[in-house]
């Protein structure tokens, strides 16, 4: 198995070296990226048109469409109906024109094409994987050239050719455990990204989501992976959070910028994650930090400060212990900050989430460390006038 992996690595690195350039050309370092989720068009009713109505599209440099699948080690469409089959009404359309039976491209892809035509500077990237969709990456790492070719073919499908500017690999997590565990070895992500670079060429955008957890960062060669990526997006959120069956029974800021008195794990901060990535050899110019447009909450709390005991997760509309910012800011407004993230005590509930003020501090931190920029997970959690993204883009 080791010999086969070594041969694959050598082959992929050779192919990457034969591409126009082994590393992408220098890009504008001021990245403001945001994830648009495929499933948001259902219960949340968050559509591509919302990006236009809120002004968000004018703030974004890059939009990531999440998620495509990794099926049998190949890139594949996630939800065909939402992506390109669902007819969009005139009221929900970017240009006010309804889809018809004869429309060449429906669904969110059709709307993204209209959005991009109106905003030609916007780059759109198709993200594959995610928390519940990462199992297929193990097979992909076993045949990286096949994976890369499948992604290239999918991006160039005649129905939407030219819509996507590249690929985002959201593998949670290479050589470590997320919802599933992987043991492909520390070089697996490097092999995948090298194959993508060789297949897609130097002008394509290639990125990868990487863990916020310092231990998981040490399990893979992220410095090697960064050679073939335009950037790595650090998931600097969800360090803490209550959910059904969770062991987190004490309140804590789920996306603190810095440490603070009483934090359960001192390395569970944005600053610690960035410091680790740089120490591992990832260039600062290729690091993005993530900002969650949602809060993590506990119920049954008996105090206002972080570190207070709780009985379990607070109720949320789409899952226990989680709620969108645009709901929380009115229902449970901030009562303090911890480590550069806001928290809120309201009745028996306690929530932590970012606000325009705490995001401004994260933007200042990204500038101070000369990072590539920031990204949002995910855009439907913002207010109708995009106040969080506005703060992030400043």
Q: Give me the active site residues, please.
A: 172
**Residue 343 φ/ψ region, left for φ over 0, alpha for ψ in the -120 to 50 degree band, beta for the rest:** beta
Name the burial class of residue 277, with classes exposed (0-12), middle (13-18) and buried (19+) by CB atoms within 10 angstroms of its CB.
buried
C-alpha to C-alpha distance for 298 and 309, rounded to whole angstroms: 9
How many other CB atoms are there within 10 angstroms of residue 77's CB atom? Answer: 18
Burial class (CB in 10 A: 0-12, 13-18, 19+), 27: middle
166 strand-pairing partners:
125, 205
SS (H, E, C) 175-200: CCECCCECCCCCCHHHHHHHHHHHHH
Nearest-angstrom CA–CA distance, 66 and 123? 14
Measure the CA–CA gap between 279 and 125, rounded to whole angstroms. 28
Helices (H), the chain: 2-18, 48-53, 80, 107-118, 137-142, 144-155, 188-200, 214-217, 222-226, 270-279, 325-331, 356-368, 387-393
DSSP states of 328-387 as a string? HHHHS---EEETTEEEEEETTEEEEE--HHHHHHHHHHHHHTT--EEEEE-GGGS-TT-H
329 preceded by a cis bond (ω within 30 of 0): no
Rounded to whole angstroms, the Cα distance separating 201 from 393 reads 29
Check if the beta carbon of residue 366 is closer than 8 Å to that of residue 289: yes
- The answer to whether 276 touches 210, Cβ cutoff 8 Å, is no
């Amino acid at each position: 198995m080791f010999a086969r992996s070594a041969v694959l690595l050598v082959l992929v690195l050779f192919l990457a070296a034969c591409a126009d350039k082994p590393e992408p050309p220098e890009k504008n370092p001021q990245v403001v990226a945001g994830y648009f989720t495929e499933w948001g068009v259902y219960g949340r009713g968050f559509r591509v048109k919302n990006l236009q109505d809120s002004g968000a599209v004018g703030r974004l440099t890059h939009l990531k469409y999440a998620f495509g699948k990794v099926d049998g080690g190949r890139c594949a469409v996630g939800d065909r109906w939402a992506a390109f089959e669902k007819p969009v009404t005139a009221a929900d359309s970017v240009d006010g024109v309804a889809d018809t039976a004869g429309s060449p491209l429906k669904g969110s892809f059709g709307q993204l094409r209209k959005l991009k035509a109106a905003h030609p500077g916007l780059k759109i990237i198709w993200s594959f994987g995610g928390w519940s969709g990462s199992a297929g990456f193990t097979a992909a790492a076993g045949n990286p050239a096949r994976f890369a070719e499948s992604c290239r073919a999918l991006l160039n499908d005649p129905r939407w050719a030219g819509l996507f500017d590249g690929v985002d690999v959201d593998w949670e997590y290479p050589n470590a455990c997320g919802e599933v565990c992987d043991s492909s070895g520390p070089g697996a992500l490097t092999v995948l990204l090298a194959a993508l670079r060789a297949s897609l060429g130097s002008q394509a955008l290639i990125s990868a989501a990487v863990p916020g957890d310092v231990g998981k960062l040490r399990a893979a060669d992220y410095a090697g992976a960064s050679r073939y990526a335009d950037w790595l997006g650090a998931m600097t959120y969800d360090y803490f959070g209550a959910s059904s069956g969770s062991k987190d029974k004490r309140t804590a800021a789920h996306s603190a910028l810095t440490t603070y008195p009483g934090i359960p794990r001192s390395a569970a901060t944005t600053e610690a994650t960035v410091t680790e990535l740089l120490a591992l050899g990832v260039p600062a110019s290729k690091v993005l930090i993530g900002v969650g447009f949602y809060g993590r909450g506990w119920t049954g709390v008996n105090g206002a400060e972080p570190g207070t005991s709780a009985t379990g997760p607070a109720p949320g509309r789409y899952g226990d212990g989680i709620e969108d910012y645009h709901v929380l800011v009115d229902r449970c407004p901030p009562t303090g900050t911890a480590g550069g993230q806001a928290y809120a005590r309201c009745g028996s509930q306690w929530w932590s989430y970012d606000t325009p003020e705490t995001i401004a501090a994260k933007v200042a931190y990204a500038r101070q460390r000369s990072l590539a920029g920031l990204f949002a997970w995910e855009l439907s959690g913002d207010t109708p006038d995009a106040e969080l993204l506005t703060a992030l883009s400043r």
